[in-house]
């Protein structure tokens, strides 16, 4: 078992406790957050109202009239000790395939309107990302972005927006800074990138992540009229494993027609994910994990 630093517990008013497991994001820190919050859900004490995992932390809302703060902290510390470095924990989750039209006309038009806010005013976002990460050209960059799976470390900030952490060794991770100043516009379902995270914008609005493409797949449906949203208006769940699939304009238009007809489905398969074998052989583990999409 790998040594891990003790978590930091902070209280927010009378109803919230925030637990910081690590100061920087890593798959190990996120997996610990997932494992602890899953264990808390599975054996949920009376008085626990909400449980929200994040990248390297989690937050719990509780009723202090039902559950005393010291009692809650003691329970969380017990779970922290049980989970340890999470090396022996297996999480049930899904592999989901998201089609992406890279370098689409809509995000390209948008990014060109905001070049004065960008580090590279003379190029596009994806050209800039390819260059600073040492790729020979944009096609090579797209192959890297779509070639490995991504772990959904949290969902939020904007309703339904997933934060996606690349499942490769750290020295191979794509890293791209956000815009120098945020945009006032981002198309809905833009595939973006900021820091070490990819994301999908669930709604149209402001944003500062680099824009690489767009997906026809709805990921947020407040009306719950689409087949993938029968249970909940947000598609993504923490721990989902995402595989981006590059598509052309013809395929994008065909998927969009399915969305408009109410028949589009995101390809998804239930899987079990274990941290230890992934860390031992990331490429081999990923290849086996993605066999469900073959």
List pLDDT tens digits, range 159-210.
Answer: 999 999 999 999 999 999 999 999 999 999 999 999 999 999 999 999 999 9
| Domain containing residue 52: CATH number | 3.30.1360.40
Per-residue confidence (pLDDT) for residue 2, from 0 to 100: 62
Residues 46 and 189 in one domain: no
Answer positive or negative: Cα dihedral of 124, 129, 215, 209.
negative
Q: 177 and 257: one domain?
A: yes
Structural domain of residue 36, as residue ranges? 8-86
pLDDT value at 1 more than 60: no
Q: Which of 86, 109, 133 is the last residue of a domain?
A: 86
159 in a structural domain? yes
Dist CA 137 CA 15 (whole Å): 51
Same-domain status, 186 and 248: yes
Look up the pTM and report it: 0.91
Same domain, 102 and 49: no
> Residue length, the chain?
294
Q: Indicate if 63 and 183 belong to the same structural domain.
A: no
Residues 215 and 72 sit within 8 Å (Cβ to Cβ): no
- Picking from 122, 79, 126, 78, the residue whose alpha carbon sits closest to that of residue 102 is 126
65 and 99, same structural domain?
no
166 CB burial (10 A radius; 0-12, 13-18, 19+): buried
pLDDT tens digits, 5-46: 899 999 999 999 999 999 888 889 998 999 999 999 999 999
Residue 1 covered by a domain: no
The per-residue pLDDT for range 74-99, each reduced to its tens digit, is: 999 999 999 998 888 888 999 999 99
What pLDDT digit, counting tens, does each position of 100-142 carry?
Answer: 999 999 999 999 999 999 999 999 999 999 999 999 999 999 9
From residue 179, give the alpha-carbon distance in Å to each of 160, 203, 209: 22, 19, 6
Question: Considering 37, 70, 86, which residue would you say is the last residue of a domain?
Answer: 86
Task: Report the run of H or E that residue 20 belongs to, with start and end.
Answer: strand 16-20
Summarised one tens digit per residue, pLDDT across range 149-158 is: 999 999 988 9
Residues 163 and 59 in one domain: no
Neighbours of 287 (CB within 10 A): 11
Q: Indicate if 124 and 152 belong to the same structural domain.
A: yes
Half-sphere exposure of 63 (CA within 13 A, CB side): 8
The answer to whether 288 touches 99, Cβ cutoff 8 Å, is: no
Evaluate whether residue 16 is within a structural domain: yes
136 token code pair: 């020979």
Residue 219 CA from chain centroid, whole number: 12
Whether 238 maps to a domain, the answer reads yes
Q: Is 157 left (phi over 0), alpha (psi -120 to 50) or beta?
A: left
Residue 3 lies inside a defined structural domain of this protein: no
**200 and 247 fall within a common domain:** yes
> N- to C-terminal Cα distance for the chain?
34
Q: Which pLDDT belongs to residue 90?
A: 87
User: Total domain count for the chain?
Assistant: 2
* In a shared domain, residues 12 and 105: no
Q: At what angle do helices 125-132 and 138-147 cross, to 10 degrees?
A: 80
Q: Are 206 and 184 in contact (CB under 8 A)?
A: yes
User: What CA–CA distance (Å, rounded) separates 142 from 44?
Assistant: 42
Q: What are 211-225's pLDDT values in tens digits?
A: 999 999 999 999 999
Distance CA 20, CA 200 (A): 25
Percentage of residues in the chain having pLDDT higher than 70: 99
> Of 86, 111, 140, which closes a domain?
86
Residue 203, pLDDT score: 96
Task: Please check the confidence at residue 286 and state whether its pLDDT lies above 90.
Answer: yes
């Amino acid at each position: 078992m790998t040594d891990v630093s003790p978590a930091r517990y902070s209280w927010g008013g009378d109803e919230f406790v925030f637990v910081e497991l690590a100061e920087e994001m890593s798959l190990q820190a996120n997996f610990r957050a997932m494992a602890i919050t899953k264990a808390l859900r599975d054996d949920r004490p009376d008085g626990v109202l909400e449980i929200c995992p994040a990248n390297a932390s989690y937050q719990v809302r509780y009723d202090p009239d039902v559950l005393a703060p010291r009692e809650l902290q003691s329970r969380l510390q017990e779970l922290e000790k049980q989970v340890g470095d999470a090396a022996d924990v297996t999480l049930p989750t899904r592999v989901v395939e998201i089609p992406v039209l890279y370098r689409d006309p809509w995000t390209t038009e948008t990014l060109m309107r905001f070049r004065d806010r960008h580090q590279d005013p003379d190029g596009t976002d994806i050209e800039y990302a390819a260059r600073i990460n040492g790729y020979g050209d944009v096609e090579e960059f797209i192959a890297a972005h779509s070639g490995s799976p991504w772990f959904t470390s949290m969902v939020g900030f904007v309703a339904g927006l997933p934060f996606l952490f690349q499942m490769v060794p750290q020295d191979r991770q794509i890293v791209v800074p956000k815009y120098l100043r945020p945009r006032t516009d981002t198309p809905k379902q833009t595939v973006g990138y900021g820091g070490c995270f990819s994301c999908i914008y669930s709604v149209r609005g402001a944003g500062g992540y680099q824009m690489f493409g767009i997906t026809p797949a709805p990921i947020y449906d407040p009306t719950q009229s689409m087949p993938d949203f029968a249970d909940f208006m947000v598609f993504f769940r923490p721990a989902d494993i995402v595989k981006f699939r590059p598509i052309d304009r013809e395929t994008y238009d065909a998927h969009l027609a399915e969305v408009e007809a109410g028949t589009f489905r995101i390809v998804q398969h239930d899987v079990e994910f274990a941290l230890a074998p992934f860390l031992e052989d990331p490429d081999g583990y990923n290849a086996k994990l993605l066999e469900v999409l073959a």
